[in-house]
Chains A and B, each alone.
Chain A
Amino acid sequence: MTAPIIDLLSRCGVSLPRDGTAWQRLVVLNNVGLLPGDGSDTELQENRGFNMLVVDGAGVATHFCKWRATPSDASISDSVVARLSRSPALRAVVPETWVVRTDEIVGEVSRYLHGDLLSEIIGDMDPVQMRDALVAIVESWEQARTSIVQLEPSVIVDASDAAFIEAAGDALVELRHAGCPQRDLDILATALVDAGVVPHAPQHGDLWPRNILRVNGSWVVLDFEFFARVQVPLYDACHLARTVWDARPTQRTAHPTWIDELLSGSAESHAYKHVLMSAAARLGLTPPQAGGALAFYVVDFAARIHRRSCSDFAPYLAEARRLAQWIAGGRRPEDLLLLSQ
């Protein structure tokens, strides 16, 4: 009895016992949606499927796999992952990975790296430690991202600059459907228009604490499922800072939204601002571009959460509205990043 998954794993060079005990080596995790799905909604389909841990006979994980529905077109992340797995220069930041697919499912199979997930250690860091860790992660990832672009120039969808308002068009429509008042949407749209344009820069797209691993003192980035879907620079740094805030419950209870945290003047807020501003400086972004990227992120992330039909969407909508209300007071998004705020 050979399961479809076992056949696919063997194509990645994963060796499993042939004595009928291979099933004991496969642990299903995060089973959050039926495969192959029903094609009803793109964003929801992308999140259907399950993850899997391949373990050896001693209980040591050897591979981590993500199984998702096969997209109708060959996704850009497939070719990137294949290239990455052949690039020794990137192995320090990106685990060795294979992609296998059938007509129904596609698997991203990575060699398992033993280390500490950022999500498990971030809560114990003080604001300075957190700031230094996030700066190191963003720097390390930026270097890897630059190498990826050199290896695979096609990941940049357009050589011309991207207008923030165009990039956020679908997200603003989604937020309108989600019940965001038109007045708030108009304020956000105006801020995005004012922020102007920015060079396209492919982003990881899901750089959050469960996709970052500390291995022997270095930071490794996992999961390239959404790579290059977002092409607005600073998105990854914003997402990392925002989701780290989520992972620090003592901070979450102190402020209703991440925007309120940034406005609080706390040591924590200074750490987030430092991470974002140092990343923006390295990328050569002007303050209005950095502010535009932050506003784009807040709008886009809230819309992504809504598309996924998440039950806990309200805080993300509240965040977008809080940003709109703050801008309505005569400020610009980039003012949020000033340490004096």
Chain B
Amino acid sequence: MSSSVAPATTAANWLWIAGPARRERGLIVADSADKWIPSLQYHLREVEQQSLESFVKGLPFPDGHFDCVLLPGVVGAWKGLARGTSARAMCATAILECRRVLRSGGVLLLSGRNPLWYTSPSVPDFALRRALSRAGFTTIREYFAEPSDTDPQSMIPACRSAAVAYERQERPTRGRAPRLLARLGLHAAAYPATVMLAFA
């Protein structure tokens, strides 16, 4: 019986399925990172934290310094983070800067509210993907998370087959709406949170 175990720091288990080649230095860029840092410290020898404000002046680290960079809580929230600039510009700047400090083979994690769930895409998915591609990220994986990106008890790859299998396993007889959405290929609107992994 594991379902009633008290919540623990699960947020870094994604490293087991993402597999950055090296697990030495990590950076988290967030104004509040309390939920992430303890779990990252199990996996990474050094973990640095910077506030989102630091994108304005640039991250104070040399190029290729980190094995992984985390930008939690930004997806679906770029508009609120943009200070004196547009949401798209903020998104592009942040991603470029993250790519700069990532070494080749490193991984960037972006997470937050699924814009399609909340129907408020301040930066549309295609624009985010284009920004990642332009910054030099070669592979992008997207997952949906339940119940949230900071407590991802489930991580469902963003594709129909995975969503259908997940719904069959977790909600075989209840929760008709997500099951129907998954079957119809509308899984992108079925889950509240998203986690993106972009590989440099």
Q: Which residues of A contact B (CB under 8 A)?
A: 1-6, 20, 23-38, 44, 47-50, 53, 55-61, 67, 105, 116-117, 120, 206, 208, 210, 243, 305, 308-312
Contact = CB atoms under 8 A, between A and B. Distances in A.
Contacts, number: 133
Contacts of A309: 5-6
A50 B63 CA distance: 34
Given A3-B18, A34-B13, A310-B5, 9 more contacts: A1-B20, A25-B162, A27-B157, A31-B152, A32-B10, A47-B2, A59-B165, A308-B6, A309-B6
Closest CB pairs A-B (n = 7): A3-B19, A59-B164, A59-B161, A28-B155, A55-B165, A33-B8, A309-B6
Q: Which secondary structure dominates where chain A touches chain B?
A: mixed
A37 to B, nearest CB: 8
Nearest to A304: B1
B8 A48 contact: yes
B126 to A, nearest CB: 19
A57 B159 CA distance: 10
A20 B139 contact: yes
B83 interface: no
Given A1-B199, A23-B141, A32 B165 contact: no
B17 A5 contact: yes
A67 B16 CA distance: 10
Nearest to B155: A28
Contacts of A30: 2-3, 153-154
B154 A31 contact: yes
Given A1-B19, A3-B18, A35 B13 contact: yes
A151 B118 CA distance: 55
Contacts of B166: 27, 29, 53
Interface string B3-36: 1111111101100111111000000000000000
B119 interface: no
Contact of A28 (B4, B8, B17, B172): B17
Contact of A34 (B6, B8, B157, B169): B8
